[in-house]
Amino acid sequence: MESSLGDLIISRLSEVYSIKKDEFAPLNFKDPFLIIVSIILSQNTTDKNALKAMENLVYNGLEKPEDFLKAGREKIKDMIRVAGLYDQKAEAIIRLAKWSVQKYGGDLSLLKNEDPDQVFNELTSIKGIGPKTADVFLVFYLRARTFPIDTHIRRVVKRLGIADGSYDKMKKRLLEIFPDPMKAHILLIKHGRTTCRAKNPNCEKCVLNDVCRYHLTLKTEKKA
């Protein structure tokens, strides 16, 4: 029953939304270090701004952890300014680069040999990398079975009435519902950005309004 609901949601959203690489920064990179950097840069800004910052970094020859350490914090800050919060993000990237070199010799492809839970714990031990950032990396690079939850996803699934509570509780619940976490993650974000917005959600044109607790509540209130 739960997986069938997940299949229904993803089927309907897939008919409405296409997945564009410029809307999801980590889809644009294969190197694991650059994937994590792109995820850090996308925090609290648009993926397009994160990609502009990534273009600046790559154009200036910063692709490997060692390149970032050699460039230093101040140069990195200038290159990623377009992504906002550049002080904090530069610090997080430097810490990530140091960890990458010290633990894996700068080769994060070695993470494919690690247990995903161990990778999650290691990444979240780095200041500036939280559970969502770590989970996004696990899904996009390691194809691990986890479910990153951002503000859009939290809003959408709460309105649908399928998940609520803490990050971990919500993640566990969504993994029960959706067979393909990566696809569900992307489509739910797109739905939250375009239709199930924080303000003025377009419920009447929503392809999920017949299975949405929020919409059904609104209809009941209008009748009353």
Domain 2-19+147-223 shares a fold with domain 31-140: no
**What separation in angstroms does the CA of 188 have from each of 16, 18, 148?**
12, 12, 11
* CATH 3.40.50.2300 is held by the domain 31-140: no
Instruction: Write the pLDDT tens digit of every residue in 57-88.
Output: 999 999 999 999 999 999 999 999 999 999 99
Catalytic residue among 7, 67, 107, 150: 150
In the predicted structure, residue 220 carries a pLDDT above the cut 90: no
Note whether 86 and 77 are within 8 A (CB): yes
DSSP state of 72: -
DSSP state of 196: S
Q: Which CATH class is domain 2-19+147-223?
A: mainly alpha
* Token digits of residue 86: 């550049």
Catalytic residue among 64, 89, 132, 171: 132
Mean pLDDT for all residues in the chain: 94
First-to-last CA distance in the chain?
31
In the chain, domain spans = 2-19+147-223, 31-140
Q: What is the pLDDT of residue 1?
A: 47
Note whether 39 and 108 are within 8 A (CB): no
Query: Mean pLDDT throughout 188-209?
Result: 95
In the predicted structure, residue 207 carries a pLDDT above the cut 60: yes
Instruction: Write the pLDDT tens digit of every residue in 94-150.
Output: 999 999 999 999 999 999 999 999 999 999 999 999 999 999 999 999 999 999 999
132 assigned to active site: yes
In the predicted structure, residue 222 carries a pLDDT above the cut 80: no
Instruction: Write the pLDDT tens digit of every residue in 13-34.
Output: 999 999 888 899 999 999 999 9
Helix axes 181-194, 2-16, angle to 10 degrees: 50
